[in-house]
Amino acid sequence: MPIVVGLVLALVIKQFVFQPVRVDGPSMQPNLVNNERVWCFKRSKIHRGSVIVFNANGVDPQVSVKTEYVKRVIGVPGDTVQSKNGNIYVNGKKTNQDYISMDQRKAGTGNWTLKTISKRNNWLKNSGATKVPDGEYFVLGDNRTVSNDGRYWGFVPKDKIDGVVKVGFWSSNQSKKKYVNKQWEHYFDN
């Protein structure tokens, strides 16, 4: 009986509290790398700057089975988002992107508004949107030259989000803890 109780408890924790996640691919470098293990907390509040895990099936048109993507939230419901000369502006305010290099900002991000990228990339839903819709989020990968992210397919509905990514307390890499776990606290440039 204790084994059954233990298994049920483990399943409940994984379903409703937290679960381990493996990063797949280079889209979140330098902050998260391919095959890195992180934790996904199911009940954490989603902020601008949070790194999230979501099911891309039904979000990215190229995905037809459950596939977990790890990306950074750039805009929350109601936000306007624009990229200009490597800088990201949310609601007209410049964001703090010290989690990536100037080269990553300029080479990979491009110049756009939500409206221009939705039309240029033929989003299936929300084409021509000027704001992040209610109940949805706009996400980018940190390594924007290789990231397949919201620029190409649009917004992530809240019901597709599994949770917020955290680097474990045991990690000795302080910049990962800062740029993954706490970037949302310093989202806008001062």
Domain CATH for 139: 2.10.109.10
pTM of the model: 0.90
Establish if 102 belongs to a structural domain: yes
At residue 177, the pLDDT reads 75
At 48, the amino acid letter reads R
Q: Is the pLDDT of residue 134 over 70?
A: yes
Q: 14 falls in which pLDDT band (50, 70, 90)? A: low
- How do residues 60-78 score in pLDDT, each as one tens digit? 999 999 999 999 999 999 9
| Nearest-angstrom CA–CA distance, 153 and 139 | 10
Establish if 11 belongs to a structural domain: no
At residue 15, the pLDDT reads 56
Establish if 161 belongs to a structural domain: yes
Establish if 2 belongs to a structural domain: no
- Enzyme catalytic residues: 27, 71
| Nearest-angstrom CA–CA distance, 154 and 125 | 7
- How do residues 76-122 score in pLDDT, each as one tens digit? 999 999 999 989 999 999 999 999 998 888 888 889 999 999 999 99
* Percent of residues, the chain, with pLDDT higher than 90: 64
The tally of domains found in the chain comes to 1
Establish if 111 belongs to a structural domain: yes
CA 26 to chain centre: 14
At residue 18, the pLDDT reads 66
Contact 67, 56 (CB under 8 A): yes
Structural domain for 145, as ranges: 21-186
Residue 95's Cβ-count burial label (10 Å; 0-12, 13-18, 19+) is buried
Q: 22 falls in which pLDDT band (50, 70, 90)? A: confident
Establish if 167 belongs to a structural domain: yes
- Positive or negative torsion for Cα 105, 108, 112, 114: negative
Establish if 15 belongs to a structural domain: no
Q: Is the pLDDT of residue 181 over 70?
A: yes
125 Rama sector, left if φ>0, alpha if ψ -120 to 50, beta otherwise: beta
Contact 163, 38 (CB under 8 A): no
Q: Which of 49, 80, 52 is CA-nearest to residue 188?
A: 49
